[in-house]
Amino acid sequence: MTNTIQDTVTVADTVHKSEGGSGWILHHVLDSHKIDFTPFGSINLPHLSLFGLDISITKHIFFSWIVALLLIVLLVIVAKSYKKSLIPKGITNLFEIIIIFVRDEIVKPTIGKGYEYFLPFHLTIFFFVLLSNLFGLIPYSTTVTSNIAVTAALAGISFVAIQFAGIRSNGFFGYFKGLIPSGMPALLLIIIIPLEILGLFTKPFALCIRLFANMIAGHVVILSLIGLIFIFKAFVYVVAPVAVGFALFIYLLEILVALIQAYIFTMLTALFIGMAVHQEH
């Protein structure tokens, strides 16, 4: 019953917005409770709730599961290929390059000794973010990481990982004591302590916003460029090639951005973990 009501609302919205509003862009970018396969119809996703919390499966959650499944399948294939022989072959080569890059260029130099413990976490973050970013470039798919809730969750995981790493290597009190630079006058502590506590949260907050903004921006730009064609209906033969050309350029740029953002997210997480592990005293 609620589904039908919502559907009619959405359809009405879409019709309303197609008249020149910006809603249709949001419609493509925002999370929703159905997977749209226009013009082949759509699949409605189930509504769930747990202890009063709405945990309905949304489009972004559904695609994050697809990303996760694809990752498991691909990486199991890679892992199996190593059992046959240690010489990489086929897709193993590609994955090996990325894995070695994450290990030798991101995690090893930032965390240093004992980096092996954090390697699975960083590899998972990198591959999950990378594949999520790249998934947005597939038609009918969606960018999981352009949902601020998803990036907030990832940043939250980073936050927990950073605090855990710091406490693990410095001890609970040692870690929080190490946050404050030594030799501070007592008066300055009044300013420093709130600043440092704020600093703990700004780091993952920046991670969250950076990834979200970067991933949504490209899509909004592409959709806006395509939208130009419909706005300038009268000059469609002039505007269409230009708009499509620019959209294509942005699309290619998105591939680069997808790689860079996955790298930055992992790199900064590793950096913060490294800073938490090796505190300056």
Partner 1 sequence: MLTGLNLSILIFAFEGGGTIIDVNPGVIFWTIVTFVILMFILKKVAWKPILTALDQRESSIRESLEKAENAKEEAEKILLKNQEMLSKADEESKKLVNKSRKYADGLKEQMLKESKEQAQKIVNDATLEIERQREAAFEELKSQVAEIAVQAAEKILRKNLNMETQKKIADNFINEITKN
Q: Residues in the site for partner 1, rule: CB under 8 A?
A: 9-10, 13, 16, 20-23, 25-27, 29-31, 50, 53-58, 60-61, 64-65, 68, 71-72, 75-76, 78-79, 82-83, 86, 95-96, 99-100, 103, 116, 119-121, 123-124, 127-128, 147-150, 152-154, 156-157, 216, 220, 224, 227, 231
Shortest Cβ 42–partner 1 spacing (Å): 15
SS3 state at 278: coil
Q: In this structure, what token pair is assigned to residue 26?
A: 């949001």
Shortest Cβ 196–partner 1 spacing (Å): 25
Shortest Cβ 230–partner 1 spacing (Å): 9
Alpha-carbon gap, residue 30 to 47, rounded angstroms = 17
Helices then strands, counting H and E runs in the chain, come out as 10, 4
Residues 6+ apart with CB under 8 A from 209: 148, 151
Shortest Cβ 161–partner 1 spacing (Å): 10
Closest of 161, 189, 165, 185 to residue 175, by C-alpha: 165
Shortest Cβ 190–partner 1 spacing (Å): 32
Choice between 65 and 249, CB closer to partner 1: 65
Alpha-carbon gap, residue 42 to 6, rounded angstroms = 13
Choice between 76 and 256, CB closer to partner 1: 76
Placement of tokens 């009268």 in the chain = 234
Shortest Cβ 41–partner 1 spacing (Å): 19
Shortest Cβ 232–partner 1 spacing (Å): 9
Choice between 13 and 196, CB closer to partner 1: 13
Closest of 138, 137, 111, 117 to residue 268, by C-alpha: 111
Choice between 16 and 281, CB closer to partner 1: 16
Query: What SS3 string covers 37-67?
Result: CCCCCEEECCCCEECCEECCCCHHHHHHHHH
Choice between 164 and 176, CB closer to partner 1: 164
Shortest Cβ 178–partner 1 spacing (Å): 27
Structure letter (DSSP) for residue 105:
I
Choice between 26 and 191, CB closer to partner 1: 26
Closest of 190, 187, 212, 199 to residue 265, by C-alpha: 212
Choice between 216 and 270, CB closer to partner 1: 216
Contact 102, 122 (CB under 8 A): yes
Alpha-carbon gap, residue 275 to 166, rounded angstroms = 8
Choice between 230 and 263, CB closer to partner 1: 230
Q: Which amino acid is at 257?
A: V
Alpha-carbon gap, residue 88 to 100, rounded angstroms = 13
